[in-house]
Amino acid sequence: MAVLIDTSILIAYERGQLDIAARVAGREAEEAFLSVISASELLHGAHRATDPAVHARRLAFVEATLARFPVLEIDLEVARAHAALWSCLAQRGEIIGVHDSWIAATCIALDLTLIAGNTREFNRVPGLKVENWTAE
């Protein structure tokens, strides 16, 4: 099984709120990816830091993370999945955040399991496989 790691997991790890090593134990052979959306969200967080030391620390974390995981782009296959998902959720009156909808569409298009912490919105997505790594 391959997984897509959501931004919420990386932020929890950076803040010392999540032991990723414990979660990965026994699953080392699985491929793990990031979405280009998560890359943007992480970079945005680094650029928002007004303190130069915080900015440098965050940027170093982001760059190390981007070097560690392959980043998946938005292509036509993902765009098709996103359009179908967006339509489905709109018809049900259950729209989710724009970034989350692209991340979910990436997982659906590429048959990935989403590793997330903020699963409230993701749980509305039909057919999305989600693991909550911040739940006790």
- Residue 114 is part of a domain; what is its CATH number? 3.40.50.1010
The pLDDT of residue 52: 96
Taking each helix axis from N to C end, the angle separating 7-14 and 36-48, rounded to the nearest 10 degrees, works out to 40
| Cα–Cα distances in angstroms (integers) from residue 121 to residues 39, 60, 94, in the given order | 20, 29, 9
Residues in the chain: 136
Q: What CA–CA distance (Å, rounded) separates 80 from 65?
A: 28
Of 92, 129, 90, nearest in space to 109 by CA:
129
Output the six-digit token pair for 135.
């739940």
Looking at the structure of the chain, the number of domains it has is 1
**Predicted TM-score (pTM) of this structure:** 0.93
pLDDT band (50, 70, 90) for residue 136: low
Residue 35 CA from chain centroid, whole number: 6
- In this prediction, residue 26 carries a pLDDT of 84
Q: What does DSSP assign to residue 127?
A: T
Share of residues in the chain with pLDDT > 90 (%): 87
32 is in which domain, residue-wise?
3-132
pLDDT tens, 49-60?
Answer: 999 999 999 999
Pick from 13, 35, 2: which is nearest to 103 by CA? 35
